[in-house]
Amino acid sequence: MADGDALEKSHYLQSEENIPWRDEEEIIPYDIYTACSLGDHNFVRELLSEGMEKYEMNKHNCGGWTALMYAAYVGHDNVVNLLLDVDVDVNVKALKSGSTPLMLAASCGNESVVYFLLQVMY
């Protein structure tokens, strides 16, 4: 897979049951960051099986966060575990705040995610 192809691959939510605020003309892009923030384990697994490279998983989006940061912040431990299985960098820092996934998980009280991240770190 060419560099960035998997990240730039856009999936769109178009069915009314998936979009509570659906605008008839609007198409909402669905990427790895959105999938991790929503806890979409199947979509993340699909991207990984399609060959998304580890370095792509560690890239920051325009908000300065990585996919792992979103999953850790919201507390989607199944997605966090999926990302940890492919050895994403747990020490990468948010561009603006300098927060790590561990800091984000701890700040939101996501104990299971904190536990999983600490297991990888030590």
Q: What is the tens place of the pLDDT at every residue in 61-102? A: 999 999 999 999 999 999 999 999 988 999 999 999 999 999
Output DSSP code: residue 70.
Answer: H
pLDDT for 11: 45
pLDDT for 21: 54
Query: Is 5-121 CATH 1.25.40.20?
Result: yes
Of 73, 80, 122, residue with least CA distance to 97: 73
pTM for the complete prediction?
A: 0.76
- Residues in the chain, overall count: 122
Mean pLDDT within 4-17: 43
Question: For residue 32, how many C-alpha atoms fall within 13 Å in the half-sphere facing its CB?
Answer: 30
CA distance 49 to 45: 6
* 55 vs 112, more confident: 112
* 41 vs 13, more confident: 41
Buried b (16+ CB within 10 A) or exposed e, 31-64: bbbbbbbbbbbebbeebbeeebbeebbbebbeee
Average per-residue pLDDT for the chain? 82
